[in-house]
Amino acid sequence: MLLTVARIGRAHGLKGEVTLEVRTDAPEERFAVGNELLTEPLEVGPLTVSASRTQGGRWFVTFAEVADRTAAEALNGVLLVTEAEASDEDDAWYPYELVGLRAERSTGEAIGEVVDVEHLPAQDLLVIHEPNGNRARVPLVSAIVKEVNVEGGRVVVDPPFGLLSGEEVPDAD
């Protein structure tokens, strides 16, 4: 299974450098000079890192196969991928492991299916396709996501009121 480590952004400068939207916990390793990265779409790569740097918290990379700004601009939106490695962390999952899981409340009530994972600066979000066709974005934090059981095919969530669509206001008796 291929794991996305970055999305190539805009060209930077005239010599083929590009910005990266990083999706890995180890960018120093992934974008080290000499590393070869597969791409999605596959026919664009592989790409070999010839230089990498950070500035203001943003990653900039130059690839050996990219000679100028025009070639760099053509890479905008291309995904850099690598073969997924097994994680030894108990509470860490790759997006491909979460997509397709049944989402339910702790009572067992089905609330939908995980269809995507969005990566935000503060935390990741589970995108849940609800039975009514709406999509809910649920923060992947322990206060809300109580259990992730990849083998069992489910994720248990305890969302605050209003996070899911179609929730009715409880009676104020």
Q: pLDDT tens digit string along 24-52? A: 778 888 889 998 998 888 888 899 999 99
Query: Quick one: CA dihedral 97, 94, 12, 35, positive or negative?
Result: negative
2-83 belongs to CATH 3.30.70.360? no
From residue 79, how far is each of 20, 21, 40, 65, 106 by CA, in Å?
10, 9, 5, 16, 36
> Do 155 and 103 contact (CB within 8 A), yes or no?
yes
Output the six-digit token pair for 5.
């480590």
* CATH superfamily, domain at 95-157: PRC-barrel domain (2.30.30.240)
Give the number of other CB atoms < 10 A from CB of residue 132: 9
Output the six-digit token pair for 101.
């899981």
pLDDT at 140 over 60: yes
pLDDT confidence of residue 168: 60
All CATH 2.30.30.240 domain ranges of the chain, comma separated, are 95-157
